[in-house]
Amino acid sequence: MNVADLGLPVDVPSTALFTDQYELTMLRAALKAGTAGRRSVFEVFTRRLPDGRRYGVVAGTGRVLDAVENFRFDADLLRFLREKDIVDEETLDWLARYRFSGDIWGYPEGEVYFPGSPIMRVEGTFGECVLLETVILSILNHDSAIAAAASRMASAAGDRPLIEMGARRTHELAAVAAARSAYVGGFATTSDLAAGFRYNIPTVGTSAHAFTLLHDNERDAFRAQVDALGRDTTLLVDTYDVGEAVRTAVEIAGPELGAVRIDSGDLLLVAHRVRQQLDELGATETKIVVTSDLDEYAIASLAAAPVDAYGVGTQLVTGSGHPTASMVYKLVARAESGDSGDSTGSAGFTGSAGGEVPLVPVAKKSSGGKTSIGGRKWAARRLDAHGYAEAEVVGTGPVPADLADRQLLVELVKGGEVVAREPLDAARDRHAAARANLPLSATQLSRGEPVIPTEYAHEGSGS
């Protein structure tokens, strides 16, 4: 059974208070003005990638779908809002009936994105869409940052598997989300059992230095672990003397020893010495796993080392220096007037293309790089003559014929109902394919600009 198929709720009773207060005060004012029911389009995008990154990775989409479904104001939440005098009774009545009834389109999970890509588009009444800003951004910003770091590490690792082991370096719930995002980005396993239970990610783990230190000597510790877990286990060999530990490990487990783990020292040098020693002892099939605060650069530096797998913790769950994707959630279009269904109800939106009153583009105008581009957008990826991506094309209005079959946004929610839930492996496979479709320079770890440019095709123009 793949629990990712079940649409299980997030690990809190409700996501409704994963909301900044100003979203509720805007709703209150819009209800009073009669504009809360105005048809609106919000988009999630980022104006720039983290410094030096060549591409971004969309992750967290499945969690967003769970969060939208679970966005409900129950009696306890409403009582809190009333006691704190955050909103008035009219708004409380509206919130008590809240159910998102609009549409959500977005880049499918695992896809890559670039500056200006309309990563997610939320369409409905202003009231029902504005409330989702914080929870959507908190999920996408965190998960996409982790997935981008994971993707870079996976590129650096090549065919060698990566183990996610960062749970002890972050918030306990963030750790579960991080393990999920790392899996999308290319990691093979996680040490976090909650992530394994919640998302069916393969889990691994054997022992820490504490287990060795518990025993009177290393031999007793290794024997106890092999007796309990079998010869195919992974023995940690750097508690005392690595060379002596490797000899002892092979003596106890025999050449069938599964792996040894190295967690300190000059990993390049030690890995070569351990490989030579294992081979001399006849343990030619025993693998070497390295850990010790790795990031993509350290992994790349070990490409020539006889290493079989990498365990990554701190640098992964902190986005390898970029813990957020800096995505924003902006109103880009709204109905010309309130005639398209303004009301005090939370429902009433009938689809992004429906309604008698046309949408008009809206955008913030400001200095300092925060200007937005108005209009309900589509996105497509143009390919070169060899079939590799050469540009991210973002536009409003009709999609050019030559890009019609290259569109990136897919329908995720229709009329308030989730229509695109999928197993996590589908997102993982999609990311591997999307990354492979980028120019080869996408995998370079050196600083550089986005690997393909973003081009804008406004209504009436070509691609």
Q: Give per-residue pLDDT as tens, 160-181.
A: 999 999 999 999 999 999 999 9
Q: Are 101 and 349 in contact (CB under 8 A)?
A: yes
Nearest Cα neighbor of 340 from 362, 320, 358 is: 358
- Residue 108, φ and ψ in degrees, nearest 5: -65, 150
pLDDT digits (tens, 9 = 90+) for 402-412: 999 999 999 99
Are 225 and 233 spatial neighbours (Cβ–Cβ below 8 Å)?
yes
Task: Say whether pTM exceeds 0.85.
Answer: yes
Tell me the Cα Rg of the chain.
25
| pLDDT computed for residue 368 by the predictor | 65
Task: Taking residues 246-262, report their average pLDDT.
Answer: 98
Of 113, 118, 72, 42, the closest CA to residue 352 belongs to: 42
Q: What is the pLDDT of residues 323-367, one digit of tens each?
A: 999 999 999 999 987 554 444 444 433 333 444 578 999 998 876
Q: Given the DSSP bridges, would you call strands 189-190 and 234-236 parallel, antiparallel or unpaired?
A: unpaired
Tell me which residue of 212, 210, 193, 213 sits closest to 201, measured CA to CA. 193
190 contacts: CB under 8 Å, gap ≥ 6: 163, 164, 165, 179, 182, 183, 196, 201, 202, 203, 204
Query: Percentage of the chain with pLDDT > 90?
Result: 87
* Residue of 432, 427, 397 whose CA lies nearest to 410: 427
- pLDDT of 372: 79
In 160-264, which residue ranges form alpha helices assigned H by DSSP?
A: 172-185, 193-199, 209-214, 218-229, 242-253
Lookup result for tokens 């600083």: 447
Burial of 230 (0-12, 13-18, 19+ CB in 10 A): exposed
CB burial of 172-210 (b: ≥16 within 10 Å; e: otherwise) equals: eebbbbbbbbbbbbbbbbbbbebbbebbbbebbebbeee
Evaluate if residue 458 carries a pLDDT over 80: no
Among all chains, which residue has been given the structure tokens 């499945």?
62
